[in-house]
Amino acid sequence: MTSTSVSAHHKITRPNMVAVGTIVWLSSELMFFAALFAMYFTTRAVQGPKIWLQSTEILNIPFAAINTTVLVLSSVTCQFGVFAAERYQARRTASLINVKYWGMREWFAMTFLMGGFFIAGQIYEYASLVTEGLALSTNAYGSVFYIATGFHGLHVTGGLIAFLIVMVRIAKARRFTQGQATTAIVVSYYWHFVDVVWIALFASIYLIK
């Protein structure tokens, strides 16, 4: 193998300025979600545990746990997509049912479907809670619940849009470049971030009563 081919297919080990900028931006997003957590626990302390206990009784924790599991597993499929991007494998090299040979596009498509499942589950949960009497304006708990989970849902939706953009660009590109691989890695940073934030939200809202 020549030195040219080696340099053309080296693994990405050093983030560029786009990746660094994304990490800095995610740090500011972390502060935003920290403010949401502060709002949640402050409101709980002011309103007292009685309202929280009454409101959390109608939460469907098993359903939320399943939805959370799907979102967490989507981080795994996303990371497999990153591994494929690092070896410059944009597409599968064998049958679709042979997961071992999937490329970045297939792993990201699976991540997109799992993220879409999570959003659909969240919409279903909202509809169920409203029918049971817990709406945004019902009480303090309803307000902080919908604000916190709603803003997270918007971030997940933003991640889904980012996956779509990456996959469309890959489909139109003649060859898979280092820039496209770096973009995929940057999107994975964001997706892992929203997954970790949701784990914290799930524990705070559904498990700590």
Q: How far is CA 69 from CA 115, 119, 188, in A?
A: 11, 13, 18
Span 30-80, pLDDT tens digits: 888 899 889 888 888 887 777 787 778 889 999 999 999 999 999 999 999
- The share of the chain scoring above pLDDT 70, in percent, equals 90
- The answer to whether domain 17-207 has CATH 1.20.120.80 is yes
- In angstroms, the CA 19 to CA 72 distance is 22
- At residue 19 the predicted structure's pLDDT band, cuts being 50, 70 and 90, is low
Q: How many CA atoms lie within 13 A of 179 on its CB side?
A: 3
Domain borders along the chain are: 17-207
Question: pTM to 2 decimals?
Answer: 0.84
Token pair 């990405």 is found at 12
Give the Cα separation of 202 and 150 in Å (integer): 13
What proportions of the chain, in percent to the nearest 5, are helix, strand and coil?
80, 0, 20
The pLDDT value recorded for residue 49 is 74
Identity of the residue numbered 184: A
What is the 3 state secondary structure string of 83-120?
HHHHCCCCCCCCCCCCHHHCCHHHHHHHHHHHHHHHHH
Q: Tell me: pLDDT of 20 over 80.
A: no
- Whether the per-residue pLDDT at 209 is higher than 70: the answer is no
CB neighbour burial string for 55-65, b if at least 16 within 10 angstroms, e if fewer: bbeebeeeebe
The larger pLDDT score, comparing residue 197 to residue 208, is at 197
Among residues 125, 178, 140, 204, the alpha carbon closest in space to that of 16 is found at: 178
Query: pLDDT tens digits for 83-134?
Result: 999 888 888 777 878 788 898 999 999 999 999 999 999 999 999 999 998 8
Please, which residues have CB within 8 angstroms of residue 160's CB and are 6 or more apart in sequence?
112, 115, 116, 119
CA-based nearest residue to 78, from 100, 101, 107: 107
Residue 163 to residue 191: CA distance in whole angstroms: 9
**Residue 170 · residue 84 · CB < 8 Å:** no
What is the pLDDT at residue 3? 42
pLDDT, residue 18, reads 65
